[in-house]
Structures are given as C-alpha cells and as structure tokens.
Amino acid sequence: MVLNASPDIRQQIEQTPVLQPQTGVRSSPIAAVVLTGGDVDAIAGLLTLRERQPFSVLATSRVHQVLDDNPIFEVLARGIVARQRVMLDEPTPVPLPDGAASGLTVTLFAVPGKVPLYLEQPGAAPALEETDQTVGAAVSDGRATLFYVPSCAAMTPALADRLRGAAAVFFDGTLWTDDEMIRAGLGPKTGQRMGHMSVSGPDGTLAAFAGLAVRRRILLHINNSNPILLADSPERAQVAAAGWEVGYDGMELTL
C-alpha cells in the first residue's frame, strides 16, 4: 500500500506506482509505504522505489525481518529510507519524509494468513495463523477511516467487529471459488492452501460482509483466474449486486 502525502486519502493498489514527478527529475508524492505482509506481491515493488527517494517503510517486526533477511532490499539506503517498526493495534502516525506529520495514522492488525510462499518448508502445508506476518491496515485522517486487507484466509468474529460500519474496505479478492486454480490447470493449490478466502460461497467474502454495513466494499489482489475481472461476467454482476466494486490500478476514492 502506498500512502500519498496529499490531504485526500488516496489509495494506490499494489506496489508499483505510476505517479509522475511533481518536483525535480525523480520526485514522487509517495511519502510512506505500508507493508501488509512479506510475500512477493507485497514487497517486490519496493525495488522500483529505490535510488535516493526519501520515504518511510512502515511494517511489523516480522515483515521488516523479511526485508532484513534479503540483502537486495539494501538498495533502499537506510540513511534515506526510514524503516519503521509498527506494533499491532497501535495507531501510528505516518510521517512525511521531512519528519512533519502527514495527518494520517495507520493501525496494523493481524488477520488469518500463512507464511510467505518462498519461506514455506517442504512437505506439510503451512499453518494458518493470526500474527504480525499477515496484517490489515486501518488508515485514518482523524475524520474517516479506510481498511486495507489484501490477504485474508478467513473472516473471524474479531475482524467482523473491526470492519462493521466502516466507510471503506479494500479486501482480498484473489479467487472466486476455492478450487479455481486447480480447475483452471494453474496449479495444485486451493485458495485456503494459499491463505485466501474465496469471494463466493457460504464462507466467502460476499457472505461474510453481508451484515457488516460497510459503505464502500472494494475487491483487490484479484487473481487472473477470477471471473470478476471480466466486466460482462455473471460473477461480476453478482459482486455488483452485493454492493461490491472491483478495484483497478490508479483507483482513487474520497471519503
């Protein structure tokens, strides 16, 4: 998640921004990056933000440990890019590169998930756990709050309570059905095995949010096998009928 320093809360989906320089040859308005996990799709985009771009990386200890364990991330020179450890459930001010307050706070909270793919041990499937390895983020400007949960293996009662009545939630939309990858011949794993709850079905995301009264519900982190990506699919219509939007690159929203 890339946090923009503008007064509006803007949301850049995924990790590769296409923002234009606003001042200077290589400037960008990116003031901070919040990591919600240590898997490739959450962290690899940092490698395109290197080269003397001052910003902060906010993440849990466990996710910072992943960066520390991979020397390639030293391209984010530590004297220029601040690595800030964020404790779970503690609202944390998001700094601007010059140290001033951005007016935004972020709160990271554990959601059910698994270890990053490349850290899995051979043999047994990794356990689902609810720790600082897979987190959601609540971003607030003191007036409105959005939730960003790009990876989540199950809706727990605590998570439902947290999201109830929210102004906006971005949520894991990886798969439509749990066996979708297998049926498409893309791999041997179910969604649960990959740490994702499905969008459809009795235990799916649409059902889990049905009573939560979230005003804007936006699916993201969508696998290319998921039929909701097709604007004219029945599944897209079903998602829309349930009050959900399908996220897209460059999406902005005003709360």
Structural element, H or E, at residue 246: strand 244-246
CA distance 21 to 55: 14
211 lines the binding site for a second copy (CB under 8 A): no
CA distance 94 to 203: 34
Output 15 or 107, the one with its CB closest to a second copy: 15
User: What is the SS3 assignment for 168?
Assistant: strand
Residues with Cβ within 8 Å of residue 252, at least 6 apart in sequence: 8, 10, 11
Q: How far is the CB of 107 from a second copy (least distance, A)?
A: 27
230 lines the binding site for a second copy (CB under 8 A): no
Q: How far is the CB of 44 from a second copy (least distance, A)?
A: 5
Output 6 or 70, the one with its CB closest to a second copy: 70
225 lines the binding site for a second copy (CB under 8 A): yes
CA distance 168 to 183: 32
- Judged by CB under 8 A, the residue of 22, 118, 158, 215 near a second copy is 118
- Judged by CB under 8 A, the residue of 100, 101, 160, 184 near a second copy is 184
How many residues contact a second copy, by CB under 8 A?
A: 28
185 lines the binding site for a second copy (CB under 8 A): yes
Q: Do residues 135 and 111 lie in contact, with contact meaning Cβ atoms separated by under 8 Å? A: yes
Q: Which residues ranging from 5 to 24 are in contact with a second copy (CB under 8 A)?
A: 24
Q: Do residues 211 and 165 lie in contact, with contact meaning Cβ atoms separated by under 8 Å? A: no
Positions touching a second copy (CB under 8 A) are 24-26, 40, 43-44, 47-48, 50-52, 66, 69-75, 117-119, 184-187, 224-225
